[in-house]
């Protein structure tokens, strides 16, 4: 009996799946499903942030519901009618991406804007895999794969072009009418356009992927060359610029943090600590700001490229990614360094320091610039960024997702990365201090900060106008060898420095004279 019921049920499901429906009905189903499955965060944001009274808020939510249903209906109808099987495939892909986007919005409180899309394109598998979890795959399977299969398998009667024109024309008229009725909301929508656009699926990633693609195309143009410079002296000088990853000022003992996670650097009397902010909250823009002469959307010649062209021996060592175009003689990844120094853990940033003294002392030039692009404090798995002996704060969260359940465990893991950073930088300073024949300097600055659960926010990447301070208040400190350069008095510097001070300060350290140099963005006095 049970077997017969099972067969009947399976036959019923098969009949439903094989029953053809009109394109109108199919488009309505997809539109409603898109709203209910993928846009709850959007409506939650509107409900929480609208400045309307109860009646006005209900009207706004109802209007947005209508607009969303109609736009998704029109997109589905047109895509299916005009492209047929290609349209099915696109809708299936959208379903999976929608589910993935909503999972990250709900889990990490992110917004799918151009910054997020750019981060996705600039993230390597080794880092992206840190987000993988059973819950992610289960969420995608239920809310992405199942709807995708429906879009691929449901038989549809497409109808004629005349009917398509009537329904889509009517849908457009509805959107215009509802928009006219909500004209008073224009200012509020404009003020919240980033958040609204970043929560609206699938429009968020479609529009922002296009924006990133256009921007990427524009950035392929040749760098704007800076005026030619010249090296003014032949003193043996090495500058090591360390670009920290996701290191936030709030968790550094040097800036008053309650934990003693900078025990080595805190003992140094010769360390100069500055207050600073980043120009962005993600690696690509933050790194660009550190290396460029001024804040600009244009692509100027970057510091390592300019120094190399001027005659400096430049080496870039990285365990990270996302930097602007680097055109120098020596660019080494952590994997390449691992081949040069077998047996070293390439996932810990100590690999960037291996053989560094020999590399500097064997240089055939008197001016050397070393850039270390680290990944020490990059999530979501902070625990993988430091050796076990640096796990001073316990217990630790294995990932940001796990840390959401216990933020203190996440902070423990993050603070261990700062403890490891302290060790690396102190080791680097000791190495430079021992090189008595060289003037030397070590500069540490982070590309951006990090959220560790404040206001239920995690990691980084929010637009600057929305980002909390912890995502852009960064550490910036410098060590300079004895009798090398003199720091400007505090009265000649702003209370908070920006990342562009790096470019001009390094030119000063390397003795490069150039019209590109701006003394107002230099932390040192200029030697005559």
Average pLDDT over residues 179-201: 72
Q: What CA–CA distance (Å, rounded) separates 333 from 253?
A: 30
Q: What per-residue confidence (pLDDT) applies to 17?
A: 57
CB atoms within 10 A of CB 367: 24
Q: What is the pLDDT of residue 368?
A: 98
Whether the full predicted model's pTM is greater than 0.75, yes or no, is: no
CA distance 507 to 518: 10
Q: What is the DSSP string of 318-363?
A: ES--------SSEEEEHHHHHHHSTTS-TTSGGGGGTTHHHHHHT-
Q: Residues 108, 133: contact at Cβ < 8 Å?
A: no
Q: Among candidates 461, 245, 466, which has minimal Cα distance to 334?
A: 245
CB-count exposure of residue 128 (10 Å: 0-12, 13-18, 19+) = exposed
Minimum mean pLDDT among 10-19, 54-63, 258-267, 491-500: which range? 10-19
**Ramachandran category for residue 125: left, alpha or beta (phi over 0 → left; psi -120 to 50 → alpha):** alpha
What percent of the chain has a predicted confidence (pLDDT) above 90?
A: 52
pLDDT at position 16 over 60: no
For residue 524, the SS3 value is strand
Lowest mean pLDDT among 54-68, 73-87, 113-127, 512-526: 113-127
Mean pLDDT of 303-313: 97
The reported pLDDT for the residue numbered 125 is 62
Q: Answer for the pair 452, 377: CB distance below 8 angstroms, yes or no.
A: no
Who wins on pLDDT, 239 or 197?
A: 239
Tokens of 106: 């709900």
Query: How confident is residue 128, by pLDDT bands cut at 50, 70 and 90?
Result: low
Q: CA–CA separation, 422 vs 377, rounded Å? A: 12
With CA atoms as reference, report the closest residue to 194 among 281, 278, 277, 321: 281
Instruction: Check residues 16 and 42 and name the one with the higher pLDDT.
Output: 42
For residue 122, the SS3 value is: coil
Q: Give residue-wise pLDDT tens across range 328-345.
A: 999 999 999 999 999 899
**Which of 44-53, 146-155, 347-356, 396-405 has the highest mean predicted lDDT (pLDDT)?**
347-356
Q: Which residue has the higher pLDDT, 496 or 526?
A: 496
d(CA 479, CA 271): 5
Q: Which of 188-197, 212-221, 382-391, 440-449 has the lowest mean pLDDT?
A: 212-221
Which whole number is the average pLDDT over 393-400? Answer: 92
Region 12-32: mean pLDDT is 78
At residue 2, does pLDDT exceed 80? no
pLDDT at site 213: 73
Q: Taking 90 as the threshold, does the pLDDT of residue 486 lie above it?
A: yes
pLDDT at residue 362 is higher than 60: yes
**For residue range 82-112, what is the model confidence (pLDDT) as tens digits?**
888 888 899 899 889 888 888 888 888 777 8
Q: Count of residues for the chain? A: 528
Tens-place pLDDT, residues 244-300: 999 999 999 999 999 999 999 999 999 999 999 999 998 889 999 999 999 888 889
- Does residue 480 register a pLDDT over 70? yes
- Bond into 380 cis (ω within 30): yes
Cβ-Cβ contacts under 8 Å for 355 (sequence gap 6 or more):
340, 341
Average model confidence (pLDDT) across the chain: 88
Give the bridge partners for 332, in sequence order: 317
Cα Rg of the chain (Å, integer): 28
| pLDDT band of 134, cuts 50, 70, 90 | confident
Can you tell me the mean pLDDT for 311-340? Answer: 93
**Crossing angle, helix 283-291 and helix 501-509, to 10 degrees?**
40
């Amino acid at each position: 009996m049970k077997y017969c019921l099972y067969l009947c049920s399976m036959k019923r499901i098969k009949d439903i799946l094989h029953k053809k429906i009109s394109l109108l009905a199919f488009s309505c189903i997809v539109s409603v499903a898109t709203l209910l499955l993928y846009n709850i965060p959007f409506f939650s944001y509107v409900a929480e942030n609208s400045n309307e009274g109860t009646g006005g808020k209900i009207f706004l939510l109802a209007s947005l519901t209508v607009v969303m249903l109609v736009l998704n209906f029109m997109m589905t109808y047109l895509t299916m009618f005009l492209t047929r099987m290609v349209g099915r495939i696109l809708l299936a892909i959208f379903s999976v991406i929608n589910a993935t986007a909503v999972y990250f919005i709900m889990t990490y409180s992110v917004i799918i804007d151009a910054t997020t899309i750019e981060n996705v394109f600039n993230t390597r598998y080794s880092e992206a895999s840190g987000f993988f979890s059973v819950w992610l795959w289960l969420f995608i399977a239920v809310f992405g794969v199942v709807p995708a299969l429906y879009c691929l398998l449901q038989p549809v009667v497409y109808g004629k072009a005349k009917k398509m024109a009537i329904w889509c024309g009517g849908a457009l008229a509805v959107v215009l009418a509802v928009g006219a009725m909500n004209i008073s909301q224009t200012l509020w929508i404009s003020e919240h356009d980033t958040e609204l656009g970043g929560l609206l699926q699938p429009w968020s990633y479609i529009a922002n992927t296009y924006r990133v693609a256009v921007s990427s195309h524009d950035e392929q143009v040749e760098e704007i060359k800076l005026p030619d410079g010249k090296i003014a002296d032949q003193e043996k000088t090495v500058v090591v610029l360390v670009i920290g990853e996701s290191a936030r000022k709030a968790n550094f003992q040097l800036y008053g943090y309650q934990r003693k996670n900078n025990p080595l650097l805190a003992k140094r009397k010769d360390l100069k600590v500055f207050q600073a902010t980043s120009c962005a909250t993600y690696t690509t823009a933050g790194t660009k700001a550190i290396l460029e002469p001024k804040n600009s959307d244009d692509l100027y010649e970057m510091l390592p490229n300019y120094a190399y062209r001027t005659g400096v021996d430049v080496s870039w060592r990285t365990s990270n990614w996302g930097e602007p175009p680097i055109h120098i003689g020596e660019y080494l990844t952590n994997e390449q360094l691992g081949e040069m120094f077998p047996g070293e853990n390439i996932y810990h940033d100590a690999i960037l320091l291996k053989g560094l003294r020999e590399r500097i002392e064997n240089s055939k030039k008197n001016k050397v610039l070393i850039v270390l692009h680290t990944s020490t404090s990059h999530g979501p798995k902070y625990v993988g960024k430091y050796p076990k002996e640096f796990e001073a704060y316990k217990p630790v969260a294995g990932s940001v997702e796990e840390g959401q359940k216990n933020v203190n465990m996440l902070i423990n893991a993050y603070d261990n990365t700062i403890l490891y950073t302290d060790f690396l930088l102190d080791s680097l300073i000791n190495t430079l201090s021992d090189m008595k024949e060289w003037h030397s300097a070590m500069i540490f600055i982070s590309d951006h900060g990090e959220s560790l659960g404040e206001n239920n926010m995690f990691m980084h990447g929010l637009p600057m106008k929305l980002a909390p301070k912890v995502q852009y208040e960064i550490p910036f400190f410098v060590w300079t060898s004895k009798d090398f350069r003199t720091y400007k008095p505090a009265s000649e510097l702003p209370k908070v420095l920006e990342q562009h001070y790096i470019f001009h300060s390094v030119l000063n350290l390397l003795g490069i004279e150039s019209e590109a140099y701006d003394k107002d963005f230099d932390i040192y006095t200029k030697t005559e």
